C-alpha cells in the first residue's frame, strides 16, 4: 500500500507556491493601485496649485489696478482742491478790491445781507 504521507510534501509545496503567487499578485495590484493613487493625487495637487497661482495673479492684478485708480483719484482730488483754493483766493481778492473801491456800498450790502439772514434764521 502506498504511503499517504508521501504526497503531502508535494501538495504543501504546491500550496506554498500558489500562496506565493497570490501574494505576489496582491503586491503587484497594491503597488499599481498606490502608483495610480499617487499619480491622481499629484495631478490634483498640480491642478490646485495652478488654480491658486492663477487666482493669486488675478488678485495681484486687481490690487495693482485698484492702487493705480486710488493714486489717480488722489491726484484728481489734489488738483480739484488746488483749483478750488485758487478760485476762493481770486474771489477774496475781488471782494477786497470791491470794498476798497466802494466802501459805503459794501457796508450797505453787508447790512442788507445780515438783516435778511437774521429774518431767515428767526423762523
DSSP three-state, residue 102: coil
Write down the pLDDT at residue 15.
Answer: 87
How large is the angle between the packed helices 8-101 and 103-122, nearest 10 degrees? Answer: 130
71-114 pLDDT per residue, tens: 999 999 999 999 999 999 999 999 999 999 999 999 999 999 99
CA–CA distances in Å: residue 84 to residues 21, 72, 80: 93, 18, 6
Inter-residue contact 85 to 77 (CB < 8 Å): no
46-76 pLDDT per residue, tens: 999 999 999 999 999 999 999 999 999 999 9
pTM for this predicted structure: 0.46
Q: To which H or E segment does residue 31 belong?
A: helix 8-101
CA–CA distances in Å: residue 117 to residues 103, 106, 111: 21, 16, 10
7-45 pLDDT per residue, tens: 566 688 888 888 989 889 999 989 999 999 999 999 999
Amino acid at each position: 500500500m502506498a504511503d499517504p504521507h508521501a504526497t503531502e510534501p508535494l501538495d504543501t509545496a504546491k500550496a506554498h507556491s500558489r500562496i506565493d503567487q497570490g501574494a505576489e499578485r496582491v503586491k503587484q495590484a497594491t503597488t499599481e493601485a498606490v502608483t495610480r493613487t499617487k499619480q491622481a493625487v499629484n495631478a490634483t495637487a498640480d491642478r490646485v496649485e495652478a488654480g491658486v497661482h492663477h487666482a493669486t495673479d488675478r488678485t495681484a492684478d486687481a490690487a495693482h489696478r485698484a492702487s493705480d485708480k486710488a493714486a489717480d483719484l488722489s491726484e484728481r482730488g489734489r488738483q480739484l482742491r488746488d483749483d478750488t483754493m485758487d478760485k476762493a483766493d481770486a474771489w477774496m481778492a475781488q471782494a477786497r478790491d470791491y470794498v476798497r473801491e466802494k466802501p459805503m456800498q459794501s457796508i450797505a450790502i453787508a447790512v442788507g445781507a445780515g438783516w435778511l439772514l437774521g429774518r431767515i434764521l428767526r423762523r
